[in-house]
Structure 1
Amino acid sequence: MKKFESSYSRGRMWSLALLLSTVAVVTIGCGGGGGGRDPILGAPVAAVLLVAPPGAIAPGAICPVAGSSVTVTDPTDGNQSVSTSTSGVANGGKLVMATFSEAMNAATISATTFKLAPTGGLALVPASVSYNAATKVATLTTSSALLPNTAYTAVIQAPIANGTGTPLGCSYAWTFKTATVAAAAPVPVNLGLASSFGIAATAGVTNTTTAPITHINGDVVLDPISGAICNAVQVDAAGGFGLCGSNSSTPTLTGKVISPLYNQGVTSTAIKADLRAAFLSITPPAGPPAVGSLGGATSIAAGTTLGAPTGNALVQGDNLFVPGVYQSLTSILITGDLTLDAQGDPNAAFIFQSSSTIGTAPSARILLINGAKASNVFWQAGTSATLGTDSVWQGNILASESITMNTHATSCGRLLAGAFAAGAFVFDSNVVSVPGNPNAPADCQ
């Protein structure tokens, strides 16, 4: 996560003294390499304490001494929602990785120069260390899963040196915290009668006339219909979806429109009731801005954004999320690519709760991998949601109030406004598809 305000200032010098109340001796193991990495380096060592060298700095900070540097780490410094293990690692172990600015001398990277321990004075975590010369990445692999809801400190220090023998300019130390153990895997939210609807609005719909016209692959529910206000979408007694003053910009629709004037066996009031019930199945009956009725939610720290530039390494809790419930007591803003990884489970559900707004920056994207489906992704906005220009959205939004789609934003997922209060909807040359709708893009499931 990119912190707006962080207690881990990049330029801040570290002065860590992790004191033990009792002496605990652990062995840092070594063994054969794998996965394309060089053999694990360094003999087993006995350790009782992790102490960051004086003057250690955070990765990526500017070192005042010339030499090689650590440019980026995974987990990142200050990350508050780190998984306790890494998929595919033996015995549920966790990978902690550091990337160097240049090729390093592999013989200097070992369990004595790359260490990990719980913050606050506990023994080193049993682990092995390897170095991949091609990627310039050192990897610490723990022998078992990390403890949940626990802060850890990692240290990289001398005598690490580059291929010509020049040592690191500075030592490095960074801290991260593991996520709370998740409750049972969440199940998709039951939308009831609202499940076939691409959009819902309870305070009128506005369609900006920018070409191309908006296209909706799914049904539409409007309740109530706004008055005779130009540019507010109107529904006639036959279910026609018209635009006041300019039918040339009428949104195209592959479903039906339900309103107080027109229904096909189901009333707009009944649909609204199911939408509210779905919203309240995530949020306590007190309604917004309270969130968190689903147990075991992982917190998204206040003052953070999600996502990263295209091509960046995937970092759990920053631009990568696995199935679960995630909760922000403020807003959720996605500023780049955000990847949701179902880890091979096609039924995996992702639920994101915001007590305030949900939004995207221009051109932000949500990407689905390893079986993740938009139909199983739910975003709950305690107030309103706004999708930025040219953004690519995946998942169903349940907004207490309004939803706005800026120019050319698209959504594979239902956009349901007015779940708890009056909710308007604004279009501007968009495409909205109900996942699995026959007219939706083939990959919108």
Structure 2
Amino acid sequence: MKLIKIIPILAIMLSVFVIGCNEDDENNPNNQGNNPTISATIPESNEVNIARNNAVTVTFDVEMDPATINSSTFIVTQGTTEVDGNLEYSEMEATFTPTMAFNALTAYTATITTDAKSLEGNNLEENYSWTFTTGGTNANIENVDLGASGNYVILSKTAINNTGTSALTGDLGLSPAATSYITGLSLTDYTGYATSAQVTGEIYAADMADPTPSNLTTAVENMITAYNDAAGRSAIDFLELGTGNIGGKTLTSGIYKWTNTVTIPTDVTLSGSSTDVWIFQIAEDLTMSAATNIILTGGASAKNIYWVVAGQATLGTTSHFEGIILSMTGITLQTGASMNGRALAQTAVNLDGNAVTQPAQ
């Protein structure tokens, strides 16, 4: 008797299950899961102050068919103009990298279309769009005020050490360290300053006659102020460019920031006008390989180029450098390296048969 009652109930349940499956099949002919969705984007929707070299990344909630992630389904536009770029897809994440840097202070829209499909063949249910706005300076970068530190081709707090025969054009300053911490330049002392056959200019140290000590104190204070100003500029154009390796690149005017060491293993070109400004914010060391060059084109001027280095700045053997180094630590020019600029260090400057010339004003 109980068995007879159970069978009709099972039949009814089976009927409901089959009807439900048929309804699902009508809504999803492939019967292979739900439509994919977007779980995250970089930049986020309405985010501002995005670096101009920032990639645009979208993360899906399922694996997608790579063939459907292309320039027709992942589109970045500025107004009605489509932005050229390269696309990569891996592990549910698609990344668009612009061929040219985004414009500064500009709104962009990224869109994923419904032609993007999951591996199961399910389309994105509707177009997904979001907008972000770049930061940067639009090339209107205020120059860094060096104050009295700009009177020196080399300025240091702890030591100026030279090996071999150097050719230094411009004045040298050392404070609060004394004259004895200037080595290898065979100084000839005069009242308030010294000279050297290796220096076209005058040499000053904190223990020389007045007004040299107070002048140097002001210069060192101005050097530190200039470092803090340049290091603190927040309108970043380019962030972590090349993950710190800038060899072979052509760099236009802008503020660049790295949270690690920057290396220059091959020649790098700075291209811009005589009034353009470059500020390179480097949280660790700056290392330039031997026999490499910084090349200026288009009228770019060394006096408007600032390398702001929290760590050690090292210029490799026979390399050529352009610009002003503001270093929180030391600056070392290896054998035969040359420099058109200024070496302004909050510790020591070490030389080894180098040509260092202050930039034309």
- TM above 0.5, yes or no, is yes
Taking the aligned partners of 1:300 and 1:205, their CA distance within structure 2 comes to 32
Report deviation, 1:350. 0.7
Query: Distance between the aligned counterparts of 1:81 and 1:331, measured in 2?
Result: 25
Name the aligned partner's letter for residue 193 of structure 1: A
- The alignment yields a C-alpha RMSD, in angstroms, of 4.0
| 1:404/1:425 contact within 8 Å kept | yes
* 1:187-223 Cα deviation digits (max 9, x unpaired): 22110111121101111121112xxx10111110011
Distance of 1:393 and 1:363 partners within structure 2:
10
What is the correspondence of 1:31-430 to structure 2 with a 5 Å cutoff? 82-84=100-102, 120-121=112-113, 180-184=134-138, 185-209=140-164, 213-225=165-177, 231=183, 236=189, 238=191, 239-241=193-195, 252-262=198-208, 265=211, 267-284=215-232, 293-301=233-241, 303-308=243-248, 319-342=249-272, 345-418=273-346, 423-430=347-354
The answer to whether the aligner puts 1:17 opposite 2:68 as a matched pair is: yes
Identify if the C-alpha distance between structure 1 residues 328 and 229 changes in structure 2 by more than 3 Å, giving closer, same or farther. Answer: closer
CA contact (8 A) 1:18 1:121 kept: no
Q: Does the residue aligned with 1:276 lie in a helix, a strand or coil?
A: helix
TM-score, with length taken from structure 2: 0.62
Specify which structure has the higher proportion of strand. Answer: 2
Query: Which blocks of at least 5 consecutive residues in structure 2 are unaligned?
Result: 1-64, 78-85, 90-94, 104-108, 116-129
Alignment partners' CA distance in 2, 1:359 and 1:424: 16
Within 1, Cα distance between the matches of 2:329 and 2:222? Answer: 16
Partners of 2:87 and 2:356 lie apart in 1 by 54
Which residue number in structure 2 is paired with residue 431 of structure 1? 355
After superposition, the Cα gap between the structure-2 partners of 1:253 and 1:119, relative to the gap in structure 1 and judged at 3 Å, is farther
Q: Which has the higher helix share?
A: 2
Aligned residue type for 1:84: F
Aligned-partner Cα distance in 1 for 2:321–2:100: 24
Q: Structure 1: any 5+ residue segments left out of the alignment?
A: 1-13, 27-49, 54-76, 86-116, 124-146, 151-179, 243-250, 285-292, 309-318, 437-444
Distance in 2, Cα, partners of 1:385 & 1:296: 22
Offset at residue 148 of structure 1 (A): 9.7
Displacement, 1:300? Answer: 2.0
Letter aligned with residue 200 of structure 2? T
Q: Deviations over 1:269-305 (max 9, x none)?
A: 1110111111111234xxxxxxxx3323320247431
The answer (yes or no) to whether the contact 1:305–1:333 under 8 Å persists in 2 is: yes
> Equivalents in 2 of 1:332, 1:274: separation in Å?
25
Question: Residue 328 of structure 1 aligns to which amino acid in structure 2?
Answer: W
The amino acid of 2:169's aligned partner reads N
Residue 36 (structure 1) aligns with:
none
Instruction: Check the 8 A contact 2:179/2:206 in 1, yes or no.
Output: no
Shift of the alpha carbon at 1:230?
A: 9.6
Amino acid at match of 1:197: Y
Displacement after TM superposition at 1:17 (Å): 3.2
Does the 8 Å CA contact 2:315/2:333 hold for their aligned counterparts? Answer: yes
Letter in 1 for 2:174: L
Instruction: Go from structure 1 to structure 2 and tell me whether the alpha carbon gap of 1:386 and 1:52 turns closer, same or farther (over 3 Å shift).
Output: closer
Larger radius of gyration: 2
Q: How many residues align?
A: 262
Contact 1:306 1:338 in 2 (8 A): yes
Q: Name the amino acid aligned to 2:194.
A: G
Q: CA deviation at 1:261?
A: 2.5
Q: 1:226 to 1:322 in 2, by over 3 A?
A: same
Instruction: Tell me how far apart the structure 2 counterparts of residues 206 and 82 of structure 1 sit (CA, whole Å).
Output: 43
Tell me the secondary structure at the aligned position of residue 272 of structure 1: helix
Given the superposition, is the C-alpha separation of residues 388 and 121 from structure 1 closer, same or farther in structure 2, using an over 3 Å criterion? Answer: farther
